Amino acid sequence: MQLGVTAKPSTHIYVSLEYERNDVSLREGDFSVHVVTLTADYNFSPNVSWANLFQYDSESRILGVQSRFRWILKPGSDLFLVLNRGWYRREWDNRYLPNYDKGSVKLQYTFRL
C-alpha cells in the first residue's frame, strides 16, 4: 500500500509526503515495514537548487536525511554539496541517537575545445 501527497505552491517550492507499507512473508516469519518519506526542495533559480529528503523506516528504525545543494556553473559544469545524516531509534525508550554523518563536495567541470 502506498499513499502520497505532493504540493508545488510556486515555481521555487516542491514538497512531497509519502507513506508506504510492505507486508513481507518469509520462512523465518512475517513482518510489515512502514516507510515515511518527506521531500522538500527549493529552487533559488534555474541554476541553483537545494533538495532535501527525509526518510524513516520501521524495520531498521533509522531516520535519514540527505540535503543536496547544486549550482550549475554552466551547462555540463556543476558544483554539489551533499550532507547525509542518520539517527537510530532505540527500541526500549524511543530515543534517537546519531548513527552516521557523511558529507561530500563534488565539482564536475566540462572542458570544450
Q: What is the pLDDT of residue 94?
A: 84
pLDDT score at 112: 77
Lookup result for grid cell 523506516: 57
Please give the C-alpha separations between residue 32 and each of 26, 48, 79, 88, 92, in angstroms, as whole numbers. Answer: 11, 39, 40, 18, 19
pLDDT at residue 69 in the model: 98
Contact, 1 vs 21, CB < 8 A? yes
Mean pLDDT by 10 residues, the chain (113 residues): 95 97 90 95 97 94 95 94 94 88 95 80
- Non-local (6+) Cβ contacts of 102 within 8 A are 83, 84, 85
pLDDT of residue 78: 96
Per-residue model confidence (pLDDT) at position 91: 83
Query: What pLDDT was estimated at residue 56?
Result: 95
CA angle 27, 29, 35 (to 5 degrees): 120
Is the distance from CB of 55 to CB of 63 less than 8 angstroms? yes
Q: Give residue 71's pLDDT.
A: 97
